[in-house]
């Protein structure tokens, strides 16, 4: 081992005892000792960003260590790599500690008169980045419901005060299509609106993995690490894809630690909870649970209907309420299918010049999702008819001869015979305890009235539509 390397090894031993392992591995392990001549100790660092960070965070420790190991007259200079693949070599940058009054222990450090070349890695001059956010995914159209209330509320809190809430990291999990990506983008968009200077980045786990692989292939891992450590709000989608990727996990571990320790915000999404993840390092799983783990469940009927109504309103559409209810009742798995069903329905209506009604909805939706055939029961028909005529179930079970009661009873019998496989005796038993002859008479009466009474026929058709819902 050369004297220079031996000297730096002694320095590392002292430094390692004074900082945590993650910081040591991130900021000191990559440093290479170059030479020690004329009381000038030259260290090679991967980028100007390293110089900035060490001068800001660790110069006192580094300065006192050099004084202890190499003597009080030691001067410190950095050799910064410019481009590993080009012939531009490196530049040598002196430590600027003598210009910083707060670092008095190194006031006898001599500053070289070499010109300091401005680097794009300097934190005060970091270039703007494209946050990769989808402006269509914002909080205005992220409808709140029971299934996503916790995650959405936490997201709004984070956007208002990124890195300052207890929700760091925010780990959102749920099945595909329930709104995880929408929430991620909404947090980023609101953050940029409130804090335009914040460096916000949305990236999928797959893109992160590709970037890391390219960095390894091009031997630019430090630049990759440095870039991600400058992000203020990092939003990573589908992080379960890191499973089994040891190198990616190790790099992300260092990025996570740096961002979390410096008060930056992390938002992670996954299709499963941390407890169900396989192939992920335990140290990462532990960190995923440091903040808030929030599940987004399948949307319930009320939320599905509200999402449809919001999209219909925003797009200026006119769709009957019974069609909206039909879609909301049958497309139950995720929000993505809901919106896809609405688009398909509109396309069919436009291309075939057909009105949007239940018939068209049944035809279109059945091609998108499996619609379980409804089992129609006499009880359901009886209750629907009573609800339509504003009567109690007990009313049509009495011997009352009032016209409205009699008609309601007859209509219930008519639909029960038409839509169920129940026997006439069974129908009569459930509707007023009548016999099969009464049921037959009721059906004939309804058919005759429909032929002669337009108002009555309209009522029967409306009840039929309700029964289809």
407-461 residue pLDDT tens: 999 999 999 998 888 898 899 888 888 888 999 999 999 999 999 989 999 999 9
Task: Tell me how far apart the 2 most distant CA atoms of the chain are, in Å.
Answer: 118
| Residue 143 resides in a domain | no
| Residue 40 resides in a domain | yes
Regarding whether 286 and 314 lie in a shared domain, the answer is: no
Regarding whether 206 and 272 lie in a shared domain, the answer is: yes
Angle (nearest 5°) at CA 274 between 273 and 278: 105
Residue 113 has pLDDT above 60, yes or no: no
Regarding whether 172 and 223 lie in a shared domain, the answer is: yes
Residues 49 and 84 sit within 8 Å (Cβ to Cβ): no
Backbone angles phi, psi at 95, to 5 degrees: -65, 140
Secondary structure (3-state) at 423: coil
Residue 84 has pLDDT above 90, yes or no: no
Q: Which long-range contacts (CB under 8 A, 24 or more apart) does 300-303 make?
A: 300/145, 300/146, 300/147, 301/328, 301/329, 302/145, 302/146, 303/143, 303/145, 303/146, 303/147, 303/148
Q: Which is nearest to 463 in space by CA: 355, 359, 405, 389?
A: 389
Regarding whether 155 and 286 lie in a shared domain, the answer is: yes
C-alpha dihedral, 225 to 170 to 284 to 214, nearest 10°? -30
Q: Which is nearest to 263 in space by CA: 295, 292, 238, 231?
A: 231
Single residue among 295, 327, 347 that ends a domain in this structure: 295
Residue 469: predicted pLDDT: 63
100 vs 227, higher pLDDT: 227
Residue 118: predicted pLDDT: 39
Residue 67 has pLDDT above 50, yes or no: yes
Q: What is the domain-level CATH number for residue 330?
A: 1.10.8.60
Regarding whether 463 and 333 lie in a shared domain, the answer is: no
Residue 278 has pLDDT above 60, yes or no: yes
Q: How sure is the predictor about 123, in pLDDT bands with cuts at 50, 70 and 90?
A: very low
Single residue among 339, 368, 397 that ends a domain in this structure: 368
Residue 270 has pLDDT above 90, yes or no: yes
Secondary structure (3-state) at 469: coil
For 341-399, the pLDDT digits (tens) are 888 888 888 888 888 888 888 888 887 777 666 678 888 899 899 989 998 888 888 88
Regarding whether 157 and 291 lie in a shared domain, the answer is: yes
Single residue among 64, 83, 102 that ends a domain in this structure: 83
Residues 231 and 264 sit within 8 Å (Cβ to Cβ): yes
Q: Name the burial class of residue 225, with classes exposed (0-12), middle (13-18) and buried (19+) by CB atoms within 10 angstroms of its CB.
A: buried
Regarding whether 279 and 155 lie in a shared domain, the answer is: yes
| Residue 125 resides in a domain | no
**What is the extent of the structural domain holding 418?**
378-468
Regarding whether 335 and 306 lie in a shared domain, the answer is: yes
Regarding whether 457 and 431 lie in a shared domain, the answer is: yes
Residue 92: predicted pLDDT: 61
| Residue 107 resides in a domain | no
| Residue 138 resides in a domain | no
| Residue 373 resides in a domain | no
Q: What is the domain-level CATH number for residue 448?
A: 1.10.1750.10
Residues 385 and 420 sit within 8 Å (Cβ to Cβ): no
Percent of the chain with pLDDT over 70: 89
Q: Give the total number of structural domains in the chain.
A: 4
Q: What is the domain-level CATH number for residue 223?
A: 3.40.50.300
| Residue 203 resides in a domain | yes
Q: Which is nearest to 129 in space by CA: 233, 206, 48?
A: 233
Secondary structure (3-state) at 323: helix
Residues 357 and 320 sit within 8 Å (Cβ to Cβ): yes
Q: What is the domain-level CATH number for residue 19?
A: 3.30.300.180
Regarding whether 72 and 161 lie in a shared domain, the answer is: no
Regarding whether 289 and 189 lie in a shared domain, the answer is: yes
Regarding whether 308 and 286 lie in a shared domain, the answer is: no
Q: Name the burial class of residue 243, with classes exposed (0-12), middle (13-18) and buried (19+) by CB atoms within 10 angstroms of its CB.
A: middle
| Residue 283 resides in a domain | yes
Task: Give pTM, 2 decimals.
Answer: 0.57
């Amino acid at each position: 081992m050369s004297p220079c390397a031996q000297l730096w090894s002694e320095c590392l031993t002292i430094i390692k005892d004074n900082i945590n392992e993650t910081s040591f591995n991130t900021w000191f392990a990559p440093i290479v000792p170059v030479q020690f001549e004329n009381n000038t100790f030259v260290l090679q660092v991967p980028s100007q960003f390293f110089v900035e960070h060490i001068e800001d965070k660790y110069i006192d420790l580094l300065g006192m260590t050099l004084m202890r190991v190499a003597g009080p007259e030691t001067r410190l200079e950095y050799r910064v790599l410019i481009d590993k693949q080009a012939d531009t070599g490196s530049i040598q940058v002196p430590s600027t500690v003598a210009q910083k009054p707060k670092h008095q222990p190194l006031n006898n450090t001599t500053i070289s008169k070499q010109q300091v070349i401005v680097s794009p890695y300097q934190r005060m001059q970091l270039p703007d980045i494209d946050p990769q956010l989808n402006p269509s995914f914002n909080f205005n159209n992220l409808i709140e419901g029971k299934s996503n209330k916790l995650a959405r509320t936490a997201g709004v809190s984070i956007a208002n005060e990124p890195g300052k809430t207890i929700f760091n990291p925010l780990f959102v999990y749920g099945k595909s299509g329930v709104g995880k990506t929408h929430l991620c983008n909404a947090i980023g968009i609101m953050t940029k609106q409130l804090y335009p200077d914040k460096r916000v980045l949305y990236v999928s786990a797959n893109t992160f993995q590709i970037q890391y692989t390219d960095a390894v292939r091009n031997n630019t891992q430090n630049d990759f690490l440095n870039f991600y450590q400058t992000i203020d709000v990092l939003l990573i989608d589908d992080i379960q894809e890191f499973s089994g990727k040891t190198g990616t996990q190790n790099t992300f571990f260092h990025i996570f630690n740096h961002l979390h320790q410096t008060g930056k915000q992390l938002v992670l999404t996954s299709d499963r909870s941390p407890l169900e993840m396989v192939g992920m390092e335990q140290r990462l799983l532990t960190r995923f649970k440091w903040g808030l783990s929030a599940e987004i469940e399948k949307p319930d009927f009320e939320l599905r209907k509200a999402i449809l109504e919001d999209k219909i309103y925003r797009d200026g559409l006119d769709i009957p309420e019974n069609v909206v209810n039909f879609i909301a009742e049958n497309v139950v798995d995720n929000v993505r299918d809901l919106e896809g069903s609405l688009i398909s329905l509109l396309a069919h209506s436009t291309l075939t010049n057909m009105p949007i009604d239940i018939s068209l909805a049944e035809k279109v939706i059945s091609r998108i999702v499996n619609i379980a055939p409804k089992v129609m029961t006499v009880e359901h028909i009886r209750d629907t008819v009573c609800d339509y005529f504003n009567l109690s179930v007990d009313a049509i079970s009495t011997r009352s001869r009032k016209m409205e009661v009699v008609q309601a009873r007859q209509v219930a019998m008519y639909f029960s015979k038409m839509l169920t496989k129940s026997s006439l005796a069974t129908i009569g038993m459930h509707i007023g305890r009548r016999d099969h002859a009464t049921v037959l008479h009721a059906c004939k009466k309804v058919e005759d009235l429909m032929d002669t009474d337009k108002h009555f026929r309209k009522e029967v058709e409306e009840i039929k539509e309700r029964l289809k819902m």
